[in-house]
Structures are given as C-alpha cells and as structure tokens.
Structure 1
Amino acid sequence: MKILFAASEIYPLIKTGGLADVAGALPVALRNKGHDVKLIMPAYRGILEKVAPIQKSINLGNPFGVGDLLLLETHIPENDTPIWLLQCQALYEREDGPYVDKHGIDFTDNHIRFAALSWATATLALHGDLMDWQADILHLNDWQTGFAAAYLKEWKTEHLPIVTTVHNLRYNGSFDMDKFVDTHLSPELLSIHGMEFYGRFSGLKAGLVYADAITTVSPTYAQEILTPEYGDGLDGTLRAMQEKLSGILNGVDYDQWSPEKDTLIPHNYDVESLDQKQANKLALLQENGLSEDTSKPIFGVVSRLTEQKGLDLVLEVMPALLDKGARLVVLGSGDKHLESGYLALQKTYPEQVAVRIGYFEDYSHRIQAGIDALLIPSRFEPCGLTQLYALKYGTLPVVRHTGGLADTVFEDAVLGDAVPGNERRANGFVFKEANAESLKSAMERCMECFNDTEKWQEKQKNAMRYDYSWDVVTDQWINLYQSLLNK
C-alpha cells in the first residue's frame, strides 16, 4: 500500500511530545513490512539541515496570500524515510517552537499555518501526478492536519480513504469564527455535524467527522473519550461515529529505547545483568550531586509539567517520602507554577532532589536507566510512551489507572484463560483515584516492594520481558488500512 502520513512534528527532525515519536517510528515499521510510506511536514527553521539534499521541488502557488508554498522532496538520513517538507518562510521560519512563541503563547496565525499544511497534504493526496506518486491511504494526525479532510470533503472528490489519529483530544485546534475566512474553506462545512465547535471551528473535529476511520493511541482511551469526563466536548460527536473508532496502542522503537543497545547511558544491561542498572543509578546520583546511598529508591519524572499529568499531586506527597529517604529526579517543563514548585522542592532537599527545566533527550535516557520507579499520576493519558520506555529499562512505573497506562501497567499478575503466554505479569504500581492520598499509597507500596529485593527484581524482569515494539502493533495498522481499501 502507498500511505501518505501527515504530521506537524516527526522525530528525529523535531519533537515536542509523543506525536513526534509515533510519526517517526510507525512509518518506518510499515516500510519494514513492505509498504510504501511517505511523510509530509512543515519545513520549520533548521529542518533542512537535518535532511538529505533536496531531490525535487514544486511550487504550489500562494493560496493563502502569505507567500508561495514549496513542496521539497527529500528523505530522513537516519532511517531513509521519504519526506516532503512544506516550505513557506512567512509561516514556518520561526525562532521558537512549532506551535508557540518564547512566552509559551500560541502563534496567532496557527490556523493559517496548519490550514496550509493540510491544504498541501490534501492537494498531494488528490494529485499524485505532481510528485509521480499516488497515495492509496491518507493518514492524518491531530488537529494540525485535520483540515486536510475538510478540503477533500469540500472538493467533493472520490477521495482516497482517510484515517485520523487522535494523540490527545484536549488539543482540538479550535479558533474564533472570524478566522475561518482565512482557511478558504466553504461556510457549508460549519454545521454542528461538520467543523463547528461551540461557536468556533475546529481542525480536529474536521479530521474526525470527515475521516473514514478514527483511531486513538490506546484501547482504553478510545472508550474513555466517549464519556463527558474525558471527551473534552467531542464525546457526543465521537459517540455518533463510534463504529469507525478504535484504539491501537503505540509502539516503542527498541533500537532507540532499550538498555542493551542504548548509546546514551553509561552502562548497558539486560534482564540477566540487572546489577548494571545499579551502576547507572550510582552514575545518575553522582551526575546530580545527590546522596549516593543506592539502598534507597529514586523516583523519576520525565514529562510535561502540567496538572493533566498529575504532577501537582507529586509535589503534594513528595516531602513525606523524601523524609523516608527517597530521592527524586525531574526533567520537564510546562506550567510556571509547577516549575517553581519543583525548583523550590530541590532547594529544600538539595541532597535528595534534582530538577532540570527543559527537555534533553540524552538525559532522559540516563534517567530511565538510573531511577528505580517512574511517576506518571496522570488525570488522563491517551497512551503514554515514558512508561513503555521505563518497562524495558526495568524501571517500575507508578501510574494512575487511565488510558494507555491502564492498558500497559499492572500491579498484580492475572492469569489468562488457561492459554499459555496469556498471563498478565505484574510490572508496576497502580492507583485509581486522581488524588494525593491514592498516589501516596501507591508510592509507599512501591517503597515497601523495593525493600524486598527478590520481589522487586521479579517485577523488574516481568517489566523488561513485555514486548511493545512497533513490529507487534504494525499488523493492526495494516489490517485497518486494508479494510478501508476493501470497502
């Protein structure tokens, strides 16, 4: 199959979150299974330096009145995946991130920036002769590419099947109605059954209502978003289209994330050499100038610092656990009051707490290898990738029972229906209610288990033996694409 995969960020070219990891890995996994996948993404500042020399370019004109849109054909050197970069200096040549300025404020023209990406995606999907390659399937990701489904709907073509993947429903890409004219879409699409969203218009809703299939990044999240609690105003829309909604768990690129192969950690190890994980633990303590007593557990956080991630709860319970000898290593950025809270905690416990504001890929690997337990107390979590990385590193996740966390982390072992290999192995610590008391109880159970070396190592080995590789989940994607083509 020929699959056009559209995303606003793709690792290793640019990354702000899990979308980039998925967009960087799933197309590679599909190509490894023999399918012809090509990517499309904006040419943000500095991107051209990270790709191979441009092989071909085409001028798509100036449909949005902000400058010509150039489609540049190249490939990603790390994995040889073909990619089209959409170049427009006025839209994408920004010093800051792909979505927000240096103050963390959304760019005021994001509706045009991603309408342009979507328009180019739809044009390429419909007119394969432009680049001598005609897609069979169009795979959109999140609101930034959702407008593409609206353009294809408006052009009233017998278009190719569209899959829209929701990585986080909360980011719905909605804008004030007076900006709709800038998209050059027809007002006919602004019904309650179309792009209209509580008096605004939404790129994500366009991607949902005009898609042939909708996927989320875990089975549990696919069910949760049908409820008002998790649906963020789109639960009614999704319930009406429930027959085309499914959840496919994200995978992990174990070439990037496994302690046997990881070139970014001081000491490699596997399930049979867990003593080397202790060496990584000591190295992490030394790197951060923390107390080097390895007989006490280190909790870790690698996350956006937001209340969605439940990280206000960690601040609430952590002092009591630090007083019992625990340590905490934090990497992330986000809400300023949470950043300040963690920095204040570090100041109060300088020998037990290390905080770095920002994101550093190499350091995140050293944290996963060096901590004992990873904290993910999310109020909701579409999939979560850090807990999947943690499992492979023998780092036990402490998670709330929601979304992809509920699908991948289990406190107790559960045998299958007498089918060999169908047992669920205990690999972490789980709590149900999104409050400080429940999190504290789970962390105390974690510390109690840590003190029982035999029991702890059994859970570590269970965790490391789970296989969440892309190779396992890719067949589900192939089956979905094929079912749409068969229709």
Structure 2
Amino acid sequence: MNIAFVTAELAPFAKEGGLGDVAAALPREYRRAGHHVRVYAPYYTLAAKRLELAWDTQRSFVLACRGAPCRFGLYHHRTDDGVDICFLRCDELFARPGIYGENGGGYPDNLLRFALFQQAVIESCGADGWIPRVMQLNDWHTALMPLYLMERRKRDARFAQTKTVFTIHNLAFQGVFPSWQYEYVNLPVNYYTPGRLEHFGEINCMKAALANANMLTTVSPAYALEIQTGELGCGFDGLLRRRRKRLLGILNGIDTDAWNPAADPAIPAAYTAAHPEGKAVCKAALQREMGLAESPDTPLIGVVARLTSQKGIDLILEGLQNMLSPGAQIAVLGKGDPALEAALVAAAEQRPAEMAVRIAFDERLSHLIEAGADMFLMPSRFEPCGLNQMYSLRYGTVPIVRNTGGLADTVVNVTPETLHDGTANGFVFNLADAGEMVNAVHNAITLYRTDRRAWRLVQFAGMMRNMSWARRAAEYLHLFRQIVAPGVTRKAEGTRLKAAVRKTKVRKAGAGKAGGTRQKAHARKAKLLASRLERPRRRTPARRAAGSRARQGNAIRR
C-alpha cells in the first residue's frame, strides 16, 4: 500500500513538539510492515542547517499563487529504513528562523504558507505517478488536503481512490484566519461554507478535515472521548459527536531505541528493570548538574514541559511550598510563558538546595532528568497524549499525573488493588487543583519512604509496559485497510467463521469425551468470530484478566 504521511514537523530536522517525533517514528514502522511510505514536509531554513543527506532526486514545479507563479523544489531522499523523505522547498515561504512564527507569535502569512505546501504535495505525487492509497494528515497545517483532493479528482482520476486519515494531535490549535485571506486557499468560493471551511465568519482549517476526511484519529482513546464534550471540544464537540463512528483514539508510542535506560548515551550509568542500580548514579549526577544538595534518600521530582498553564505549571507554583514540605527536591526544564518562567526562576532562587530551574529545550538534560528523578510530575489541564509520562515509565521514574487524555490511558493509579494485581505504575489525581496535586505528590513520597518493595513493584510495572511504535503502527494499518477495502476485511472474517463452522460439523460425531471437547472449542471459536462480525470488541484489561483466570481454571480442571 502507498502511504503518504504529510506533516509540518519532522524530527530531527524541524521539531517544536511531539508531532516531529511521531513523524519520524510512525512511517518507519509502516515501512517495516512492508508498505511504501513517503513523508512530505516543508524544507525550512532551520532544517537545512541540520540536513546532511545525499539527495536521490531533485525536481521543481510551479504553482499559481494569487495569479503569480510560486516555484517549489522537491528534494527526495530514501533513508536506510526504506522511508522516502520528500522535502518541499520554497524559500519565499519557509526560509525563516521559525517553523510557525517568532517571539511567541505566528507568521501573518501562515495560511498561504501551508495552503501552498499542501497543494505542492498533491502536485508532486501526480508529477511522478506515485499515487497514495492513504494520506495520513496531521493537525491544521495539513487539514485542507481533503478539499484539495476533491478538487483534484475533477481533473485527475488517479486520485479517485485516495483516502484521507486526519490525526488530531491538539484540537486547540485550529488554524483560524480572517475571511479576507480566502484567496490564499486557492479553492473555488463554494468551498467557503459551514460544511467545509467557514466557521462563524472565519476560515477554520481544522474544520475542513474534521468534516471531510474519511477517518479521524486522535492520539489517545481518552482524548477521543474528551473532545466530544463541551469542555474540551473547542467548539467542535457537536461535529465530532456526529462523526463519532469515524473517530478513533490510538495512543502514540515512543522510540524505544532512543529512550532506553539500558543503552542511553546521555546518562552516566545504564540500568534495567532487573538491575536498577545505575539509577542511583543518574540521580547523583542530576543533583550535581542542577546544583541541588546531593542526597540519595531525598525524593527528587522531575518536570520537563512547555512552561504554560495548559501543562499545569501555575499549579506547581501554587502548591510548591506544601509539595516540598516533606523534604523533597524538584528539577524543572522547559521554556514557554515568560511570566511563568520568571516565577519559577524566582522560586528556585529562594530555595536553591530544594529547587532548580533550567529555562531551555535541552535533549540531553531531559534524558538525565528522566533517568535521575524518582518521580515525574505532569499536572496538565488537558493532554491529548503526552510522551514524557511514557518516557518516565520506561526509565522507572514514577509518574504523578492528572486524570486526562493520554495520561489517563497510560498511568494506573497506586491503590491496594492495583498493587496486588501488579498493574500500578504511578499516581493519578482528578481535578486541576493545586491541593489535589500536592496530595498525590505526598502519597508518592510516603510510598517511596515507607515501602521500598512496593515502590520497586510500581517502577517494574512501568518499565515492563510495551510502548513501542510497532504496536501503534499495527492499529493504524488495520484502520487503513478498513477504509481502503472495507468489504475485504469483513469478508476475511466471514471466511474464517465459515471454516470454523465447517470444522464443527465435520467433528460433530467425534468419538468420546475428546471429540466433544474439540466440538465445543470450535463452537466457541465460531461464536466469537460471529460476534466480531456483528460488533468489534476491544480486549480491556478486565477482559484480559478474566480470560487469564478462565485459562488457569481450565488447566486445574484438566
């Protein structure tokens, strides 16, 4: 299957958030599964500084832009993994210091920049005859693509079967522009309607995909439900509820090679779940680097985040004194709101032995914080997926998170029951409230100090969790197959059902007890397959546990 992955960011060349990591990892897994993959991204000036690629091909083509020609260059490179990277270059639009803007503001011509980028993607596909079967689009910068495909199909039948999957990484960023900029979109005026681009008198790029893509995905199952509510739907909860049968939440994964405490070059000592001794070495190194008092028994809390209210940084400031009162330390790394940056720095100056702040994006230090901290704090007001809690689980750094989005999907709260069944891997609080956050932190500190065996079990559960991209890619590929050939998937299920029924009939007169047991087993299989045809069911943790207990009971009876 030809899969085009269209993105505004691509790590390590141009990245401002988690989207860049997704764009680097997910297409690689598609290729490993045997599919032909192209990643399309703009060629930014900042990316050019990091590019050391040998270009396999270079081409150029011209697009019409408000009646004037706009030249794009296509730079193609095939990676060692077999993924084709296609950078689309137009220096007039993308030769700038930032990806989306500078000094906290967006570029005034962002609609024009990304509208032309999307048109260039379709043009480049058509130019060399590589027609994608599925186009995976990401956030508002690629959300006009379903409309451009509608228009292209009128004159190019090769795109008639191309399907679009739009992935919502953060619904809050929608690409909203004044109506007078509609000429930048380069579409007929009949596309400026409430069912396509118009939203309360303005252009809303995100709406184009939410209303017109073949399928919608978000980056966690919980976030897929949250955005159908008035609280987190950002004005589109009604539309998303209407399209809920075409909305699916699939968790992000992490790069388990880059984030691996057993072989991480950014940390001073390697360790594993079975041999965690190196974590103490990392803790001491982190305390030294951040200027904190070196103390192996003092609980050390890590924070790596954009310093914004969405990430709950104001809650940390509000609850700081009570949070550290049991004798804890906190190390903070990030950039963001200047007011929050200044408040954090001032707080650290008042308690230098307990708190350290680094205002920066520092990849090496973020690895050291994940490895050296005992706990990792994420009090986000909303979090579509979140990656740092997964890094923390991987590194045995117990996450303390708010019950929202991907945090809710990945962190299992410590309770007597979850400790007993081995699923507890962190601490969860419900409200975006400083008091609740402090209580969760104190609960973590209490367990850390009073029951090290239970603490090790919590660490072990997190480190053993499978958070690889291979697992997530399989879920996306299953979705792609469903929308490309929906009848084929169900036909295959039906064929398996008929085969199971035939086997049941053939063995119906099976000899003795053994024959009867086989007959019952095949009947159960047929019933299960029939239920899948009627309504696909997910295996929840409760169902897995029930299945495990049933198997154990069968083994005892035998």
Give the TM bin, normalised by the shorter chain.
over 0.9
CA distance in 2, matches of 1:266, 1:349: 27
SS of 1:239's partner is: helix
Residue 16, structure 1, aligned to residue 13, structure 2:
no
Change (3 A) 1:350 1:414: closer
Change (3 A) 1:414 1:25: farther
Question: Is residue 133–residue 161 contact of structure 2 (8 Å, CA) maintained in 1?
Answer: no
Residue 149, structure 1, aligned to residue 146, structure 2:
yes
For the pair shown, the structure with the greater C-alpha radius of gyration is 2
SS of 1:368's partner is: helix
AA partner of residue 394 (structure 1):
G
Question: Partner residue of 1:224?
Answer: 226
Question: Partner residue of 2:71?
Answer: 68
CA distance in 2, matches of 1:175, 1:475: 36
Question: Partner residue of 1:465?
Answer: 464
| Higher RCO structure, 1 or 2 (CA under 8 Å, sep 6+) | 1
Cα deviation for residue 133 of structure 1 reads 2.3
Question: Partner residue of 1:112?
Answer: 112
Question: Partner residue of 1:453?
Answer: 452
Where in structure 2 are there 5+ consecutive unaligned residues?
A: 155-159, 487-558
* Partner of residue 427 from structure 1, selected from 412, 416, 425: 425
Cα deviation for residue 131 of structure 1 reads 2.8
Residue 441, structure 1, aligned to residue 442, structure 2:
no
CA distance in 2, matches of 1:286, 1:191: 59
Residue 131, structure 1, aligned to residue 134, structure 2:
no
CA distance in 2, matches of 1:373, 1:112: 44
SS of 2:318's partner is: helix
Cα deviation for residue 321 of structure 1 reads 2.5
Question: Partner residue of 1:356?
Answer: 358
CA distance in 2, matches of 1:475, 1:462: 23
Kindly report which structure 2 residues correspond to 1:213-292, keeping only aligned pairs within 5 A, or say none.
Answer: 213-292=215-294
Question: Partner residue of 1:59?
Answer: 60
CA-based RMSD: 1.7
Cα deviation for residue 187 of structure 1 reads 2.0
Question: Partner residue of 1:420?
Answer: none
AA partner of residue 449 (structure 1):
L
- 1:370-421 per-residue CA deviation (whole Å, 9 max, x = no partner) reads 11111111111101111011001000110000111111001136989xxxxx
Question: Is residue 422–residue 457 contact of structure 2 (8 Å, CA) maintained in 1?
Answer: no
Question: Partner residue of 2:406?
Answer: 404
Question: Is residue 422–residue 461 contact of structure 2 (8 Å, CA) maintained in 1?
Answer: no
Kindly report which structure 2 residues correspond to 1:13-92, keeping only aligned pairs within 5 A, or say none.
Answer: 13-48=13-48, 49-64=50-65, 65=68, 67-76=70-79, 79=81, 81-92=83-94
Question: Is residue 217–residue 250 contact of structure 1 (8 Å, CA) maintained in 2?
Answer: yes
AA partner of residue 34 (structure 1):
G
CA distance in 1, matches of 2:201, 2:122: 26
Task: Give the TM-score taking structure 1 as reference length.
Answer: 0.94
SS of 2:77's partner is: strand
Question: Partner residue of 2:512?
Answer: none
Deviates more, 1:317-326 or 1:274-283: 317-326
AA partner of residue 146 (structure 2):
A
Cα deviation for residue 475 of structure 1 reads 1.2
AA partner of residue 147 (structure 2):
A
- 1:158-205 per-residue CA deviation (whole Å, 9 max, x = no partner) reads 250000000000011111111111111222112111111222112211
Cα deviation for residue 153 of structure 1 reads 2.1
Cα deviation for residue 46 of structure 1 reads 3.9
CA distance in 1, matches of 2:75, 2:82: 15
CA distance in 2, matches of 1:284, 1:387: 19
AA partner of residue 453 (structure 2):
E
- 1:341-380 per-residue CA deviation (whole Å, 9 max, x = no partner) reads 1111111111221111121111111110011111111111
Change (3 A) 1:206 1:51: farther
Larger helix proportion of the pair: 2
Between the two proteins, the alignment pairs up a number of residues equal to 475
Cα deviation for residue 454 of structure 1 reads 1.4
Change (3 A) 1:412 1:324: closer
Cα deviation for residue 274 of structure 1 reads 1.4
Q: Give me the identity figure in percent.
A: 37
AA partner of residue 35 (structure 1):
H
CA distance in 2, matches of 1:413, 1:467: 22
Change (3 A) 1:143 1:341: same
SS of 1:50's partner is: coil
AA partner of residue 443 (structure 1):
V
CA distance in 2, matches of 1:187, 1:319: 57
* Partner of residue 346 from structure 2, selected from 326, 344, 348: 344
AA partner of residue 140 (structure 2):
W
* Partner of residue 174 from structure 2, selected from 172, 197, 217: 172
CA distance in 2, matches of 1:243, 1:201: 26
CA distance in 1, matches of 2:355, 2:397: 18
SS of 1:63's partner is: strand
Change (3 A) 1:324 1:66: farther
AA partner of residue 134 (structure 2):
I
- 1:217-246 per-residue CA deviation (whole Å, 9 max, x = no partner) reads 000100110011010011111112111100
CA distance in 2, matches of 1:47, 1:283: 32
CA distance in 1, matches of 2:164, 2:260: 33
AA partner of residue 444 (structure 2):
C
Change (3 A) 1:69 1:89: same
Question: Is residue 414–residue 425 contact of structure 1 (8 Å, CA) maintained in 2?
Answer: no
AA partner of residue 32 (structure 2):
N
Task: Give the TM-score taking structure 2 as reference length.
Answer: 0.82
Question: Is residue 62–residue 69 contact of structure 2 (8 Å, CA) maintained in 1?
Answer: no
* Partner of residue 369 from structure 1, selected from 360, 371, 377: 371
- 1:246-283 per-residue CA deviation (whole Å, 9 max, x = no partner) reads 00111111001110121111111000121210110000
Deviates more, 1:425-434 or 1:48-57: 48-57
CA distance in 2, matches of 1:36, 1:424: 40
CA distance in 1, matches of 2:71, 2:349: 51
CA distance in 1, matches of 2:198, 2:79: 37
Cα deviation for residue 473 of structure 1 reads 1.8
Change (3 A) 1:52 1:80: farther
